[in-house]
Chains A and B, each alone.
Chain A
Amino acid sequence: MRAIELREVSTVYEGERRPAIKDINLTIEVGEIVYVIGPNAAGKTTLLETINGLLPISRGQALVFNMDVQKNGWKIRREIGYVPQDFIAELGEPYTALDVVLMGRFGKIGVINKPTREDKTRAIESMRLLGIEDLANKPIGKLSGGQQQKVMIARALAKEPKILLMDEPFSNLDSESRGRVLEIINCLNKERNVTVMIVTHDLRQILNSSHRIIVMNNGKIIADGDFKSVFNVAKEILPHKFR
């Protein structure tokens, strides 16, 4: 079954002439783990935000579980865990880490309904998976960049998503934490068949990976396959990463 399908999708930002992604055709099956790499402004974040419907599509069609993203955005996003790039809360934010993680479940809970004890348990469990349960009652703005990144990952996991879209989830993490997050992702993928897309600049994550890799440049997918098959293209557009 197809988890994600993009047909000739282009997305143009407001006020821009050039599309951020152009004529993208992409199919991702349920249970796949896909890495997306490419230089800055290649269209990687736009691709993720087009899939979860946060950005309007200028042309083409995006489907998630065979539902049109533009027509069923709210419904679809309740099944997608999204980790944004470089999210940093302001110092004085009046929210605890647990508040932020619990928010991940709000869409699923439905309008008017209040979070139950079970919702809170799920949120704490996802924090425990990432080793940050002791930060639950700390103000989010007082946590370090890496801790905040873990909170955002826990927020996405608390939703118990069918699809995980992660934009640079390792950028503020040390190597031990990166390994832990990868372990969790692999576990979710194996046990619950969660489909995962990870945008990363960190090629260490994919060097020994057997997963599918998409290489993007100038808003287009220029290579798609396992590490061996995309190696030459990746090396050409990201030479500094292979030194």
Chain B
Amino acid sequence: MMWLQYAIFQRAIIGCIVTGLLMGLISTFVVRMRLTAIGYSMSHSAFAGAALGVALSMNPLITAMVFSAVTALLIGPAADKARLPIDTITSIAFSLNMALAFIFLTLSPQVGLSSEVASIIWGSIVAITNNDLIYLEILFLTTLTLIYLFWKELFAIMFDRRMAEADGINTKPFIYSIIFIIGIVVALSLKLIGGILVYSLLFNPASSTLQFLHDMKKVVILSPIIGMLSCVSGFLMSLIFDVPVGACIALISTLIFAISVALSPKRRRVIV
């Protein structure tokens, strides 16, 4: 544990804990609202933003966040306007952002995929700065506060959006807000896990807890813990075996999911 004395690893561990909690928390909404395409779409919009940042000699993380935020803001209203499922619009945004990313990369051929853009794709946890940690912590607290304040509405929407509307809840602002938060969370988590594997944490924690729990409130509490455990143990695994941290986190969280499915008590129908 000697390495824990170094600030770089301390930041990495704190980054793992906060990112894991945050991703686990929002995974509940991603899974329950069936926003399956959101993970790869957001990570690729961040990728396009990072590519633009490099092409314009700007901070790629900032442009990645701007791209994710704008995409996240447009997805909900576009889906409602087109009267198409959110996942369909998200997939369209994915291909658009990939196309933009390639165009931006050709604008800066001297940089290519070997530079900062690559770190956005694969993640680079040791590059996490104190400022990154502050952003992550602020985002975690903001997300937690919003979920606490609007839990009742989100709880009903996650059960059935149409029934929530029938009960007099205006579902649109809540769904748009959740998509926006997911966009920002994905963009901020890119440094840790990278764009390619970030979506493992968008699905696996909540999918794992849903194998065991019948109580939505407990799902929202346990999913962040599983997210955090996946991140921290993934980071430790990457240190031990000297392999990429994002890949280790994805492996661990998938392993937890597989074990949850195997041991799930939810397979039997109880006659009451």
Asked whether any CB of chain A lies closer than 8 Å to the CB of B270, the reply is yes
Interface residues of A (CB under 8 A from B): 14, 52, 54, 74-78, 80, 82, 84, 87, 91-96, 99-100, 103-109, 111-115, 135, 138-139, 142-144, 147, 155, 159
Q: How far is the CA of A155 from the CA of B168 in the complex (A)?
A: 13
Q: Are B266 and A91 in contact (CB under 8 A)?
A: yes
Q: Could you count the A-B residue pairs with CB atoms below 8 Å apart for me: how many are there?
A: 89
Asked whether any CB of chain A lies closer than 8 Å to the CB of B62, the reply is no
Q: How far is the CA of A107 from the CA of B153 in the complex (A)?
A: 8
Q: Are A106 and B164 in contact (CB under 8 A)?
A: yes
Q: Which of A77, A82, A94, A155 contacts B215 (CB 8 A)?
A: A94
Q: Are A107 and B167 in contact (CB under 8 A)?
A: yes
Given contacts A91-B269, A144-B271, 8 further A-B contacts (CB under 8 A): A77-B165, A91-B266, A93-B214, A94-B210, A96-B215, A106-B156, A112-B150, A135-B272
A-B residue pairs in contact (CB < 8 Å), sample of 8: A84-B166, A94-B214, A103-B155, A103-B159, A104-B167, A112-B150, A114-B152, A138-B272
Q: How far is the CA of A91 from the CA of B219 in the complex (A)?
A: 16
Q: Which of B153, B162, B216, B266 contacts A99 (CB 8 A)?
A: B216
Q: Which of A96, A112, A147 contacts B214 (CB 8 A)?
A: A96
Asked whether any CB of chain A lies closer than 8 Å to the CB of B149, the reply is yes
Q: Could you say which residues of chain A place their CB within 8 Å of the CB of B266? A: 91-92
Q: How far is the CA of A103 from the CA of B215 in the complex (A)?
A: 14
Question: What are the 8 A-B residue pairs with the smallest beta carbon separation, nearest first?
Answer: A107-B168, A78-B168, A139-B214, A77-B168, A107-B167, A82-B166, A94-B216, A103-B156
Q: Are B152 and A106 in contact (CB under 8 A)?
A: yes
Q: Which of B167, B211, B216, B270 contacts A95 (CB 8 A)?
A: B216
Q: Could you say which residues of chain B place their CB within 8 Å of the CB of A95? A: 159, 214, 216
Q: Are A77 and B216 in contact (CB under 8 A)?
A: no
Q: What count of chain B residues pass the 8 Å CB interface test? A: 31
Q: How far is the CA of A77 from the CA of B156 in the complex (A)?
A: 15
Q: Are A100 and B170 in contact (CB under 8 A)?
A: no
Q: Could you say which residues of chain A place their CB within 8 Å of the CB of B219? A: 94
Q: Which of B149, B150, B155, B210 contacts A92 (CB 8 A)?
A: B210
Given contacts A96-B214, A142-B272, A75 and B152 within 8 Å (CB-CB): no
> What is the chain A residue whose CB lies nearest that of B211?
A92
B220 shortest CB reach to chain A, Å: 9
Q: Could you say which residues of chain B place their CB within 8 Å of the CB of A91? A: 266, 269
